[in-house]
């Protein structure tokens, strides 16, 4: 394993720059289900004319905050096992911690970028971002006071914007995971100290804030989120990359399929941990340094401006170039050698003048150009990636997992995997 600096191992999951001071990184029963004007609760023949297209099914769930709307749009073809000697695709997953819109326009910026490039991403939604601050005492965090949150609460305007954009994200084909709720990283209340039972409580609350936003806000003028969150939610990233060992038993019981909370990994093909795919942030080259840095905006910041998100602006051009080059180097190393999936974690932030968002857009566009060349680069969500992993033959995965960082297949892919898929 390459040398990774201590600062490069820090994880931040805060949804706003104010959290930098931290170590980063239900159905309602007995109520009438409101019928939203945009919702049809059953299949319809449209106008009733012969041959008229049917309206999509929309079945409201619980209080109407979410709805079943059928198969998710804009999904890739069903994955298939690799053929003998076939070169594996180069998977790239861009993921976003918190996934709240706070008036910066960043959520919409990257949705548009993804649509322009026919790419998919994962959004780890913080449940509190759909809970109005006036209702904060509904949140009972483990080992912390009721209503507490180390990432604060969004304004009502920003909650409404977040609902709109989460809805659009799913309709565009992206995955909605969870970043849990209060983002506690320090002291006795840290998520790193939570038990499996406490994680279960946190998860149930995170789900309830998504599934009952209509009850909690009282808003009736917005359409439901177009997915069943109980079925949509199959993975997460914990705050600060803490607490995975006690999280995994809890989420295994819930049937989740992956976790992206390991405190630091390398560019190798993933394996399972406690029955779930373990998909960590990865150490990648860091130009100008002998050590490597984790593939997340905050980790680059921590090695550039140390303890501030507003360093002197004369640093920004050089740091932006360095961050962009780091991401591109991580992609290139995997693509030209072991084809390990490349995972990039981000926040909708404007740290150091927004240079990390510019760097992410740069590498996103760079990878999209490679994809357009027909080179079998796939920009996918974590859900789509584990769908592919789950249909591969064990002997093929074993060969891929045996390759080290930067290791090329002996004799080329055709020889290396020849007969392994027979």
What's the gap between Cα 214 and its chain centre? Answer: 24
300 pLDDT more than 60: yes
Residue recorded with tokens 């439901």: 224
Please give the pLDDT value at position 374: 84
Distant-in-sequence, close-in-space partners of 257: CB < 8 Å, separation ≥ 6: 234, 235, 276, 277, 383, 386, 390
Closest CA to 280 of 292, 293, 267: 267
1 pLDDT more than 60: no
Query: Which long-range contacts link 196-199 to residues 24+ away (Cβ below 8 Å)?
Result: 196/246, 196/247, 196/249, 196/250, 197/250, 198/142, 198/143, 198/246, 199/142, 199/243, 199/246, 199/247, 199/250, 199/251
Is 126 exposed, middle or buried (CB count within 10 Å of its CB: 0-12, 13-18, 19+)? buried
Lowest mean pLDDT among 187-191, 306-310, 344-348, 381-385: 306-310
19 pLDDT more than 60: no
Distant-in-sequence, close-in-space partners of 100: CB < 8 Å, separation ≥ 6: 15, 107, 125, 126, 129, 154, 158, 162, 348
175 pLDDT more than 70: yes
* Domains (range + CATH), the chain: 7-16+86-416 (3.20.20.370)
Average pLDDT of the residues of the chain: 89
Lowest mean pLDDT among 9-18, 58-67, 128-137, 207-216: 9-18
Angstrom distance (rounded) from CA 148 to CA 137: 8
27 pLDDT more than 70: no
Please give the pLDDT value at position 307: 80
Burial 185-219 (b: 16+ CB within 10 A, else e): beeebbbbebebebbbebbebbbbbbbbbbbbbee
Is the alpha carbon torsion for 285, 288, 311, 6 positive or negative? positive
Lowest mean pLDDT among 23-32, 108-117, 118-127: 23-32
Mean local confidence (pLDDT), 155-168: 98
Percent of the chain with pLDDT over 90: 84
End-to-end CA distance of the chain: 32
Please give the pLDDT value at position 49: 54
DSSP per-residue string spanning 319-367? HHHHHHHHHHHHHHHHHHTT---EEEEE-S--GGGGHHHHHHHHHHHHH
Residue recorded with tokens 């980063």: 24
Closest CA to 93 of 123, 117, 126: 123
37 pLDDT more than 80: no
Mean local confidence (pLDDT), 349-371: 98
If one compares 27 and 129, the residue with the highest pLDDT of the two is 129
Mean local confidence (pLDDT), 165-194: 97
Which pLDDT band, with edges at 50, 70 and 90, does 358 fall under?
very high
Angstrom distance (rounded) from CA 415 to CA 396: 13
If one compares 345 and 419, the residue with the highest pLDDT of the two is 345
Please give the pLDDT value at position 240: 95
Please give the pLDDT value at position 16: 32
Please give the pLDDT value at position 392: 98
Beta bridge partners of 292: 4
Mean local confidence (pLDDT), 162-186: 98
Angstrom distance (rounded) from CA 206 to CA 181: 6
Burial 249-285 (b: 16+ CB within 10 A, else e): ebbeeeebbbbbbbbbbbbbbbeebeebbbbbbbbbb
User: Nearest-5° angle of CA 386, CA 270, CA 262?
Assistant: 100
320 pLDDT more than 80: yes
The 3-state DSSP class for residue 379 equals strand
Mean local confidence (pLDDT), 68-78: 97
Angstrom distance (rounded) from CA 271 to CA 278: 6
**Predicted confidence (pLDDT) per residue in 241-290, tens digit:** 999 999 999 999 999 999 999 988 999 999 999 999 999 999 999 999 99
Percent of the chain with pLDDT over 70: 86
Closest CA to 279 of 204, 380, 413: 380
């Amino acid at each position: 394993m390459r040398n990774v600096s201590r600062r490069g191992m820090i994880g931040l999951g805060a949804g706003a720059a104010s959290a930098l001071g931290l170590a980063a990184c239900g159905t309602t029963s007995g109520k009438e289900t409101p019928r939203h004007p945009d919702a049809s609760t059953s299949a319809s023949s449209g106008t009733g004319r012969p041959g008229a297209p049917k309206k999509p099914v929309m079945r409201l769930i619980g209080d109407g905050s979410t709805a079943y709307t059928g198969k998710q749009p804009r999904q890739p073809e069903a994955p298939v096992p690799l053929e003998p000697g076939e070169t594996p695709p180069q998977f790239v997953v861009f993921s976003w911690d918190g996934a709240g819109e706070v008036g910066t326009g960043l959520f919409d910026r990257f949705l548009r970028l993804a649509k322009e490039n026919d790419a998919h991403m994962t959004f780890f939604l913080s449940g509190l971002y759909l809970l109005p601050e006036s209702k904060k005492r509904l949140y009972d965090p483990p080992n912390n006071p009721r209503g507490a949150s180390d990432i604060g609460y969004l304004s009502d305007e920003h909650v409404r914007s977040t609902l709109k954009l989460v809805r659009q994200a799913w309709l565009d084909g992206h995955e909605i995971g969870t970043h849990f709720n209060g983002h506690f990283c320090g002291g006795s209340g840290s998520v790193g100290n939570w038990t499996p039972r406490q994680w279960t409580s946190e998860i149930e609350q995170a789900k309830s804030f998504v599934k009952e936003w209509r009850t909690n806000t009282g808003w009736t003028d917005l359409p439901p989120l177009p997915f069943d969150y109980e079925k949509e939610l199959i993975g997460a990233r914990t705050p600060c990359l803490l607490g995975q060992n006690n999280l995994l038993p809890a989420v295994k019981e819930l049937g989740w399929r992956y976790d992206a909370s390991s405190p630091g990994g390398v560019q190798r093909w993933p394996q399972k941990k406690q029955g779930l795919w373990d998909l960590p942030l990865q150490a990648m080259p860091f130009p100008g340094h002998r050590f490597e840095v984790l593939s997340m905006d905050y980790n680059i910041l921590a090695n550039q401006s140390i303890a501030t998100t507003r360093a002197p602006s004369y640093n920004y051009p050089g740091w932006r170039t360095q961050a962009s080059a780091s991401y591109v180097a991580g992609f290139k190393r995997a693509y030209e050698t072991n084809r390990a999936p490349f995972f990039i974690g981000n926040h909708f932030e404007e740290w150091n003048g927004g240079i990390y968002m510019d760097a992410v857009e740069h590498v996103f566009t760079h990878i999209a150009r490679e994809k357009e060349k027909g080179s079998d680069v796939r920009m996918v969500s974590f859900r789509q990636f584990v769908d592919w992993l789950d249909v591969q033959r064990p002997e093929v995965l074993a060969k891929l997992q045996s390759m080290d960082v930067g290791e090329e297949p002996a004799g080329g892919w055709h020889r290396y995997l020849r007969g392994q898929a027979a």
